[in-house]
């Protein structure tokens, strides 16, 4: 993603320039959050599952080196070539060298936030390699020359009419047609050609099983499988934290992942890759890129438990009203605001302040990361490191920009819905005054309370 | 390779692998035991739930008693001359069965692929197959339409129960398939048929 010097508040203000679009974005994400709730309530043991997932991940972090070695050993025995990359640059070089070995300059790629984090597409483009993203949402933002704005729903910020225009231009769909069915079918035909002609396919990894050396990739579209099964070479990129000990633990994580992400019971495909096909090469690139540093930060290491479901984004009142691009980092939203400062504390000093610390993220996180608590703690660390004043001001501006839109809630009938959408913690906490319930009532409380009091008067 | 300068001034090369592993070892938290997950298993399967769930995610469920019924159903939906592939000898009359060595790309014009699944999961409508079941990995994805044959007796309640059966299975590739391929990337409108099969029919025996 293009790294910007602009801060979250400025970018959020830009996004808020179009009020009806912001409302639409907000409502769409809240709708997904509600779908999540509905399906979660059907699983009586949900809380026990979250606890188990969190503990399994904690156990893995305490034994990560051993599990990675076990995973490597088993993957190699399965005929998979394992590469290690200390940082994004090394990851990109490895992928490029694999492409060079094949003598190809074109590759198809399914969704991988890690490759976004590493800016792989840009790197390969500079080296004359064309990458086609095969996930529909990713293909759309790729054609728009934008980064994804959401880790699960890459083009959640774009209207179908804009996609209709885009596809008319690039794929020759009829002008003025914005029918999702037609547009999806056009993309299917377009990407099918890509699948049929690419020799190298790259996928992400959702889970890597130490015990068996296999890795699991989850998609709804089937694009990871189409790419990998039709290519001579399959490259899979994974962060070191994707490890789980045993195959049976997939039961826990696959039950949690998609319910949390989109409110579906499971993704259409949960593909378990253990060995290459006869004649096929399979490569795994295991990437650090700052993760071992985060592991050493005691108060932030829990963020490495993340399974990238995006539930924390869908529920976040700031994310919903500021848009993914306002976070100016590959992974937006609450979790991205914990991960990014680890990579560059100064550049991302604003992000932990782009939060109300309401705790709704922590409530929905399937691996029980104490997200809002970590955001609060980043504020302390950032302040101690002298990056704070501008960022603090930014935080105030965020509240002003993203949350105080009087028009929305002066309408009496809408008030209840507005509270639900924008202050989910009030509901979660059975309407207890929010400031009594919170764990961390420091600086941001003051400004938010002022804001709340003021706006209540207006309402 | 990453170069690190030691105190002696001698440059030593340390592979990224070793650098990562040693950084993990010095930065990791204290050990915490692995929690047991046996409490989640051994729930009762519920056919009704499986059928409803699969239908709710876009799958079609057809209850049958015999392969004759399956053949009749396929014949009704797909006219003669349609390219159908299968791994099931019982379907040899209507489907190609000798395509195991055909190049994967040559399956592109397959209209319907029919396979037998090993088990079905009631909580999410998914069925499990490995590459033995689908002959070629691409086959379950490249076909326009997919059909699976599943014995009702193989249903399990949850993913935990599924892995209880699969935890020792050896495969090069295996996949849970839950309904047809789909996307909702355009304004969250659900469209069936993204990059994989556009429909998924399950013959429940
Ligand atoms: S932090 Fe939790 S809720 Fe957010 S994406 Fe990661 S796993 Fe999902």
What is the C-alpha to C-alpha distance for residues B143 and B85, in angstroms, rounded to an integer? 9
Q: Do A262 and B184 touch (CB under 8 A)?
A: yes
B76 and B123 assigned to the same domain: yes
pLDDT above 60: residue A425: no
B144 and B90 assigned to the same domain: yes
* Choice between A423 and A343, residue whose per-residue pLDDT is larger: A343
What is the C-alpha to C-alpha distance for residues A97 and B198, in angstroms, rounded to an integer? 36
Measured from the Cα of A310, ligand 1's closest atom is 5
The mean pLDDT of chain A is 87
Task: Output the CA A138–ligand 1 centroid distance in Å.
Answer: 20
Q: Which pLDDT band holds residue A217 (cuts at 50, 70, 90)?
A: very high
Give yes or no for B37 touching A (CB within 8 A).
yes
Instruction: State the number of CA atoms in the 13 A half-sphere of B193 facing the CB.
Output: 16
Q: What is the pLDDT of residue B43?
A: 82
Contacts of B126 (CB under 8 A, 6+ apart): A266, A270, B120, B159, B162, B176, B177, B178
Q: Which pLDDT band holds residue A387 (cuts at 50, 70, 90)?
A: confident
User: Which among A181, A245, A268 has the least Cβ separation from residue B34?
Assistant: A245
Q: Do B39 and A286 touch (CB under 8 A)?
A: no
pLDDT in tens, A312-352: 999 999 999 999 999 999 999 999 999 999 999 999 999 99
Give yes or no for B4 touching A (CB within 8 A).
no
Residue position matching structure tokens 């993603």: A1
Count Cβ–Cβ pairs < 8 Å, chain A vs chain B.
248
Secondary element (H or E) of residue B165: helix B159-166
B86 and B172 assigned to the same domain: yes
Residue of A nearest to B191 (CA): A181
| Closest by Cα among A153, A157, A87, A128 to A322 | A157
In chain B, what residues touch A84 (CB-CB under 8 Å)?
15-17, 20
Portion of chain B with pLDDT greater than 90, in percent: 87
CA A99 to each of CA A142, A284, A332, A410, B85: distance values in angstroms, whole numbers, following the listed order: 21, 14, 30, 58, 33
Provide the strand spans (E) within A49-165.
81-85, 106-109, 130-133
> Radius of gyration (Cα) for chain B, nearest Å?
23
Q: Are strands A200-203 and A233-239 parallel, antiparallel or unpaired?
A: parallel
pLDDT in tens, B106-129: 999 999 999 999 999 999 999 999
In chain B, what residues touch A52 (CB-CB under 8 Å)?
35, 37, 40
A411 by Cβ neighbours in 10 Å (0-12 / 13-18 / 19+) ranks as: exposed
| Closest by Cα among B190, B1, B195, B163 to A207 | B163
What is the ipTM metric for this complex?
0.94
Confirm if B83 and B117 have CB atoms less than 8 A apart.
no
Helix ranges, A297-442 (H)? 311-315, 317-322, 333-343, 360-364, 371-384, 388-398, 406-410, 412-422, 424-428, 434-437
Averaged over A98-116, what is the pLDDT? Answer: 97
> Which of A371, A378, A424 best tests ligand 1's pocket when mutated (most atoms within 8 Å of CB)?
A371
Show me where the domains of chain A are located.
Answer: 1-42+311-388, 45-289, 399-458
Q: What is the pLDDT of residue B7?
A: 44
pLDDT in tens, A258-293: 999 999 999 999 999 999 999 999 999 999 999 999
Dihedral of CA atoms A373, A374, A376, A378 in degrees, nearest 10, equals 170
The domain spanning residue B180 has which CATH number?
Answer: 3.40.50.10420
Q: Which pLDDT band holds residue A386 (cuts at 50, 70, 90)?
A: confident
Domain that holds residue B73: 41-204
Q: Do A247 and B163 touch (CB under 8 A)?
A: yes
- In chain B, the largest separation of any two C-alpha atoms, in whole Å, equals 80
CATH of the structural domain A45-289, one choice from 3.30.160.20, 3.40.50.10420, 3.40.50.510, 3.40.50.11540: 3.40.50.10420
B162 and B135 assigned to the same domain: yes
B76 and B15 assigned to the same domain: no
Q: Do B182 and A220 touch (CB under 8 A)?
A: yes
Measured from the Cα of A307, ligand 1's closest atom is 7
In chain B, what residues touch A271 (CB-CB under 8 Å)?
173-175
pLDDT above 60: residue A295: yes
B76 and B131 assigned to the same domain: yes
pLDDT above 60: residue A178: yes
The whole-angstrom distance between B82's CA and the closest CA on chain A is 20
Q: Do A137 and B164 touch (CB under 8 A)?
A: no
Q: What is the pLDDT of residue B9?
A: 41
Look at ligand 1, atom 6, and give the residue with the nearest C-alpha.
A306
Q: Which pLDDT band holds residue A147 (cuts at 50, 70, 90)?
A: very high
Averaged over A357-377, what is the pLDDT? Answer: 95
Q: Which pLDDT band holds residue A399 (cuts at 50, 70, 90)?
A: low
Q: What is the pLDDT of residue A394?
A: 52
How would DSSP label each residue in A173-205?
PPTT---HHHHHHHHHHHHHHHHHH-SEEEE--
A365: left (phi over 0), alpha (psi -120 to 50) or beta: beta
Q: What is the pLDDT of residue A17?
A: 87
CA angle (A83 as vertex; A78, A87 as ends), nearest 5? 150
How would DSSP label each residue in B105-158?
GGGTT--EEEEE-SEEETTTTEEEEEHHHHSSTTHHHHSSEEEEEE-GGGEESS
| Closest by Cα among A335, A329, A404 to A367 | A335
B27 and B99 assigned to the same domain: no
What is the C-alpha to C-alpha distance for residues B138 and B182, in angstroms, rounded to an integer? 17
B64 and B165 assigned to the same domain: yes
The most confident of the ranges A12-16, A132-136, A392-396 is A132-136
In chain B, what residues touch A264 (CB-CB under 8 Å)?
57
What is the C-alpha to C-alpha distance for residues A224 and A203, in angstroms, rounded to an integer? 6
Instruction: Work out how many domains chain B is built from and give that number.
Output: 2
Give yes or no for B40 touching A (CB within 8 A).
yes
Q: Which of residues 7-26 of B touch A (CB under 8 A)?
A: 15-17, 19-26
Strands of the sheet with A106-109, listed across from one edge: A81-85, A281-287, A233-239, A200-203, A106-109, A130-133
Q: Which pLDDT band holds residue A367 (cuts at 50, 70, 90)?
A: very high
B120 and B186 assigned to the same domain: yes
User: Which among A136, A230, A275 has the least Cβ separation from residue B194?
Assistant: A136
Q: What is the mean pLDDT of each run of 10 residues along chain B (205 residues)?
A: 43 81 95 90 91 97 97 94 96 95 96 98 98 97 98 97 95 98 94 96 98
Mean pLDDT lowest among A199-203, A433-437, B11-15: A433-437
Q: What is the pLDDT of residue A175?
A: 95
> Which of A304, A363, A366, A373 best tests ligand 1's pocket when mutated (most atoms within 8 Å of CB)?
A366
The whole-angstrom distance between B144's CA and the closest CA on chain A is 11
Confidence (pTM)? 0.89
B78 and B118 assigned to the same domain: yes
- A20 three-class SS: helix
In chain A, what residues touch B25 (CB-CB under 8 Å)?
65
In chain B, what residues touch A267 (CB-CB under 8 Å)?
178
> Which of A111, A117, A307 best tests ligand 1's pocket when mutated (most atoms within 8 Å of CB)?
A307
Confirm if B164 and B24 have CB atoms less than 8 A apart.
no
Structure tokens at A85: 């990359």
CA A299 to each of CA A296, A370, A372, A373, B103: distance values in angstroms, whole numbers, following the listed order: 9, 10, 12, 9, 52
How would DSSP label each residue in A24-69?
HHHHHHHHHHHHHHHHHTT-TTHHHHHHHHHHHHHHHHHTHHHHHH
Q: Ligand 1: which residues within 6 Å by Cβ?
A: A 260, 306-312, 335, 364-367, 369, 371
Give yes or no for B125 touching A (CB within 8 A).
yes
């Amino acid at each position: 993603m293009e790294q910007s010097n602009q801060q979250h508040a400025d970018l959020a203000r830009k996004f808020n320039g179009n009020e009806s679009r912001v409302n639409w974005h907000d409502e769409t994400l809240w709708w997904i959050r509600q779908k999540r709730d509905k399906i979660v309530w059907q699983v009586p043991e949900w809380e026990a599952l979250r606890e188990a997932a969190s503990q399994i991940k904690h156990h893995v972090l305490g034994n990560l080196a051993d599990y990675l070695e076990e995973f490597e050993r088993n993957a190699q025995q399965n005929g998979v070539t394992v590469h290690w990359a200390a940082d994004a640059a090394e990851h990109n070089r490895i992928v490029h060298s694999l492409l060079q070995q094949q003598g190809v300059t074109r590759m198809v790629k399914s969704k991988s936030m890690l490759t976004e984090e590493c800016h792989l597409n840009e790197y390969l483009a500079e080296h004359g390699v064309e990458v086609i993203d095969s996930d529909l949402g990713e293909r759309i933002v790729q054609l728009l020359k934008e980064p994804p704005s959401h880790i699960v729903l890459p083009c959640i910020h774009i209207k179908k009419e804009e996609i209709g225009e885009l596809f008319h231009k690039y794929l020759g769909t009829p002008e003025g047609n914005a029918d999702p069915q037609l547009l999806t079918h056009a993309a299917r035909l377009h990407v099918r050609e890509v699948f049929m002609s690419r020799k190298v396919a790259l996928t992400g990894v959702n889970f890597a099983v130490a015990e068996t050396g296999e890795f699991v990739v989850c998609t709804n579209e089937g694009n990871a499988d189409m790419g990998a099964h039709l290519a001579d070479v399959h490259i899979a990129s994974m962060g070191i934290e994707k490890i789980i000990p045993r195959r049976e633990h997939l039961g826990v994580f696959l039950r949690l992942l998609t319910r949390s992400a989109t409110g579906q019971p499971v993704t259409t495909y949960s593909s378990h890759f253990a060995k290459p096909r006869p004649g096929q090469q399979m490569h795994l690139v295991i990437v650090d890129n700052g993760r071992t540093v985060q592991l050493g930060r005691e108060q932030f290491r829990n963020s490495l438990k993340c399974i990238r479901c995006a539930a924390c984004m869908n529920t976040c009142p700031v994310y919903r009203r500021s848009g993914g691009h306002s976070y100016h980092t590959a992974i937006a939203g609450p979790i991205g605001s914990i991960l990014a400062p680890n990579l560059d504390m100064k550049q991302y000093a604003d992000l932990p302040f782009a939060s109300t610390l309401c705790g709704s993220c922590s409530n929905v996180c399937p691996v029980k990361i104490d997200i809002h608590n970590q955001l609060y703690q980043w504020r302390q660390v950032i302040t101690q490191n002298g990056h704070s004043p501008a960022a603090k001001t930014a935080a105030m501006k965020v509240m002003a920009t993203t949350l105080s839109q009087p028009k929305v809630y002066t309408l009496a009938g809408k008030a209840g819905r507005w509270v639900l959408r924008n202050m989910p913690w009030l509901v979660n906490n059975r309407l207890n005054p929010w400031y009594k319930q919170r764990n961390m009532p420091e600086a941001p409380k003051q400004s938010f309370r002022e804001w709340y009091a003021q706006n209540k008067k207006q309402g | 390779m990453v170069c690190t300068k030691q105190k002696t001034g001698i440059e030593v090369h340390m592979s990224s692998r070793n650098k990562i592993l040693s950084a993990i070892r010095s930065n990791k938290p204290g050990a915490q035991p692995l929690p047991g997950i046996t409490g989640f298993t051994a729930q009762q399967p519920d056919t009704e739930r499986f059928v409803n769930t699969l239908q709710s995610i876009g799958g079609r469920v057809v209850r049958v008693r015999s392969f004759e019924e399956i053949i009749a159903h396929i014949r009704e939906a797909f006219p003669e001359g349609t390219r159908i592939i299968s791994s099931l000898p019982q379907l040899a009359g209507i489907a190609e069965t000798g395509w195991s060595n055909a190049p994967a790309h040559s399956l592109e014009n397959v209209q319907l692929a029919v396979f037998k699944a090993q088990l079905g999961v009631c909580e999410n409508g998914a069925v499990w197959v490995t590459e033995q079941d689908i002959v070629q990995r691409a086959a379950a994805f490249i076909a326009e339409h997919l059909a699976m044959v599943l014995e009702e007796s193989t249903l399990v309640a949850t993913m935990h129960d599924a892995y209880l059966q699969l935890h020792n299975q050896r495969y090069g590739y295996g996949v849970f398939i839950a309904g047809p391929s789909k996307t909702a990337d355009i304004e969250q409108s659900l469209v069936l048929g993204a990059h994989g099969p556009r429909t998924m029919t399950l013959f429940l025996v």
